[in-house]
Amino acid sequence: MIFISYRRDDTKDIAGRLYESLISKFGRNNIFYDAESIEPGSTFPYELTRKITNSKIVLVLIGKRYLSITDDENEVRLFSLEDFVNKEVGLALRSECVVIPILVDNTDMPSEKELPENLSKLAYCNAVSIDWAKWSRDIEFLANNIRKILSPESKRKGNFIQEKMTEIPVNELLSSINHLRNKNKIYEPYSSMNYIYGEVVNKFSENRGSMYEIEDGNNTYFCNYSDILTEGFRTLRIGDKVRFAKSNVDENNKATYVLKIEKQYKLIDVNE
């Protein structure tokens, strides 16, 4: 699946023309374009999430107004975590999709500093330019690169290779966790938990204090500051990698015993 991400106030016409061009090369069923691919009555946010996670390639169309379009309160829409374009691109960058920025009509590639924090990695994705005056040539160049990525021989999985897991003994990790557990007066037996690894993708405030949204690639979880294990101030940042357990008493994907980690750890039995 090839997903086309665009902002209607910026690149609507280009997105429609690109969709038609890609259909002729890869087939209608292999291209997602929201104006044509979402059935009436479907839940829009759910469909976007489902289509992106099932896509191999996400094309991010960037026009002259990509960084400047504002909402009713005169805030740049791309910087809002509730903005659909922000959600689309952010999810694509965190998934195994190959993200290709499409620079429309000589638009410059945004720098890391110009992008929202959760989209900063987009600045390091190799881009392709598309120009109305050179349409056939540019589309053929893009299509050839897409074919390479979609080929059975290709092993590309996302733009950002995950760090190789570090093997450490079970008792060493549990000892470290127990230290934090005791300092925070937490008595849940860690050895009996099934842990989940994820990334913090959103932060917002509620009456109970800071709340965090965590994704593991399949599901979305939520926690507040009291669920965080740390020796200092209980806080997380967008992009932090965490390990946590799913609460057994909350049906709404509540994350608990949330521990910030620097690496993905694979537990090994020292007796093996």
Residues contacting 266, CB < 8 A, separation 6+: 165, 166, 167, 168
Q: Pick from 100, 123, 150: which residue ends a domain?
A: 150
Average pLDDT for the chain: 76
The whole-number pLDDT of residue 254 equals 84
pLDDT of 90-116, one tens digit each? 888 887 788 999 999 888 998 988 998
Say yes or no: 144 and 233 in one domain: no
Evaluate whether residue 92 is within a structural domain: yes
Say yes or no: 8 and 96 in one domain: yes
Is residue 103 a contact partner of residue 62, using CB atoms and an 8 Å limit? yes
pLDDT of 207-227, one tens digit each? 556 788 888 877 888 888 778
pLDDT of 27-64, one tens digit each? 888 888 876 655 655 565 666 777 787 788 899 999 99
Tell me how far apart the alpha carbons of residues 13 and 3 are, in angstroms, rounded to a whole number.
16
Q: Which residue range is the domain that position 194 belongs to?
A: 166-268
pLDDT of 65-83, one tens digit each? 998 988 888 888 888 878 8
Evaluate if residue 265 carries a pLDDT over 60.
Answer: no
59: domain CATH number is 3.40.50.10140
Evaluate whether residue 160 is within a structural domain: no
Stretch 193-220: mean pLDDT, rounded? 76
What total of structural domains would you count in the chain?
2
101 beta partners: 60
Say yes or no: 223 and 102 in one domain: no
Evaluate whether residue 156 is within a structural domain: no
Stretch 179-202: mean pLDDT, rounded? 59
Q: Pick from 122, 150, 178: which residue ends a domain?
A: 150
pLDDT of 136-153, one tens digit each? 999 999 999 888 888 876
Say yes or no: 215 and 258 in one domain: yes
Is residue 247 a contact partner of residue 255, using CB atoms and an 8 Å limit? yes
Evaluate whether residue 161 is within a structural domain: no
Say yes or no: 67 and 170 in one domain: no
Is residue 88 a contact partner of residue 5, using CB atoms and an 8 Å limit? yes
Share of the chain above pLDDT 90, in %: 8
Say yes or no: 177 and 75 in one domain: no
Say yes or no: 124 and 234 in one domain: no
Say yes or no: 170 and 264 in one domain: yes
247: domain CATH number is 2.40.50.140
Share of the chain above pLDDT 70, in %: 71
The whole-number pLDDT of residue 203 equals 76
